Amino acid sequence: MKKYPVRLTTAQFADLHGLCRRTLHYYDQIGLFSPSYKGENGYRYYDAQQTIELGHIRMLKELGVQLSEIRSYRQHPSADAFLQVADARLQQIDEELKKLRRAKKILQQKKEMLHTCRRVQSGQVELVQCPATYLLTAPMPGDDSHQAAAILGQLWQADEYQTGFGSYISADKVYRGDFSVYDGLFVPVPASCHSSRRLVLPAGDYLCGYWVGDWDGLPRLYDKMLQFSRENHLKLTGYACELGLNELAIADMSQYVTRVTVAVAPA
């Protein structure tokens, strides 16, 4: 017995596949997927067998392939053409996964910082073991606000470094009580960063101090850290690094938590 094709209107075909008619109209308009039959009445109809074609389009779309790429592939389908589409999309997926892993790491670090803020008290000083830390540095901009914005922009431009920025000052200046000019600004970076402006803080013993409130109170924290080092026969070395831990989660500076870390050695 002869089989007759099943003709479906746009509305019927859309309902069959859970789509809105506008989607099918758009696919037709851009030359991606069109009705296969035109009736004597001038109306155009989809063939039920076009379900398979639409399924392939929807599969590729759900895999993130752009409609323009799908259209180009459908115009000249071949194994080589599909492999080219697949390789391009796999490369995009790898980049997206890299960004997601980076975003996850940053969020985890922010959570850890906030948990630390809940644990510590202003003026608290402790001796801790720290792994090697890597910082991307820039000179302190001074009073030039435009220069400051440019420097901070340079430090912040790479999204993998967006875990916050801080400032650093030499241990010699801390001992002299000279906080008028800091040595520079920094952002934490992964070990894979090999910039000439990278500063490496070696693994070892560090004094870690916390201050809650405005930066003007930091000299008092440094006094406590110096007192702690004298009582425990330690000396500060290298640079003291100041990093804000909760700038995204406060209403005003009275709640701001600064962490200061500085390497120590036996006195």
Q: Domains of the chain (ranges plus CATH)?
A: 7-77 (1.10.1660.10), 107-266 (3.20.80.10)
The pLDDT assigned to 105 comes to 87
d(Cα 204, Cα 227) in Å, to the nearest integer? Answer: 20
Tokens 């520079």 -> residue:
184
**18/14 Cα distance (integer angstroms):** 6
Categorize the per-residue pLDDT at 1 as very low, low, confident or very high, splitting at 50, 70 and 90. Answer: very low
Could you tell me if 247 and 164 are in contact, meaning their C-beta atoms sit under 8 angstroms apart?
yes
pLDDT band at 21 (very low <50, low <70, confident <90, very high): very high
Average pLDDT, the chain: 89
Say whether pLDDT at 142 is over 80: no
Residue scoring higher pLDDT (193 or 36): 36
Name the most confidently modeled range: 111-120, 130-139, 163-172: 111-120
Output the pLDDT for position 123.
Answer: 97
Burial 228-264 (b: 16+ CB within 10 A, else e): bbeeeebebbbbbbbbbbbbeeeeeeeebbbbbbbbb
- Distance of alpha carbon 51 from alpha carbon 59, whole angstroms: 12
Mean pLDDT for 155-168 is 68
Q: What is the mean pLDDT of residues 200-227?
A: 97
Residue 49 predicted with pLDDT over 70: yes
